């Protein structure tokens, strides 16, 4: 199962910040189990929404140079409330630094005027072909798919 945790990029300041939104829908599979009587977006997916938002900031900044942008560590993660079906989460991420193979960020998720999650985190960036040159074609396929998804998230932004 693959989760896509942002629906649209609202604002982008290249290399500095990104604001995205996620509308929580009762149709999302994981809500059936988390929790059946009181469905809420799992906290780890709130954090992943911040990571996904920052990943797009990295990709756009680096012109999609790496196929992989992954969470390396998260610090000071604070969950303050729940996100349930019908709510819209606004993810705001700010880059502290974006380098060739890593980036550090602060981010928060807000529903209405209420902050529901906040974190400091680091992302690691690489290509699969860095370890195995035979994987270069896979890197290319992944990057092409990501560029297509970027056009859906931010149609007015060229990759």
> Which residues does the annotation mark as catalytic?
34
DSSP-based three-state secondary structure for 21: strand
Write phi, then psi, for 145 (nearest 5 degrees).
-65, -40
Nearest of 10, 43, 40 to residue 24 by alpha carbon? 40
Kindly calculate the radius of gyration of the chain based on its CA atoms and give it in whole angstroms.
16
Q: Are 126 and 136 in contact (CB under 8 A)?
A: no
Task: State the DSSP string of 99-131.
Answer: -SSEEEEEEEEEETTEEEEEEEEEEEEE-GGGT
Q: Count other Cβ atoms within 10 Å, centred on residue 17.
A: 18
Distance in angstroms (rounded) separating the CA atoms of residues 126 and 115: 32
């Amino acid at each position: 199962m693959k989760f896509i945790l942002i629906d649209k990029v609202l604002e982008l300041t290249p290399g500095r910040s990104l604001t995205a939104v996620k509308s929580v829908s009762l149709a999302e599979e994981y809500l059936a189990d988390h929790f059946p009587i009181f469905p809420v977006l799992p906290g780890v997916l709130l954090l992943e929404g911040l990571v996904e938002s920052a990943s797009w900031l990295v990709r756009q900044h680096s012109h999609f140079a790496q196929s992989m942008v992954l969470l390396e560590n998260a610090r000071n993660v604070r969950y303050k409330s729940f996100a349930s079906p019908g709510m819209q989460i606004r993810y705001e991420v700010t880059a502290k630094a974006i380098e060739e193979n890593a980036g550090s960020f602060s981010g928060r998720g807000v529903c209405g005027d209420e902050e529901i999650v906040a974190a400091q985190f680091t992302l690691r960036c690489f290509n699969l072909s860095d370890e195995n040159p035979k994987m270069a074609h896979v890197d290319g396929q992944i990057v092409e798919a990501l560029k297509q998804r970027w056009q859906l998230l931010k149609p007015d932004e060229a990759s």
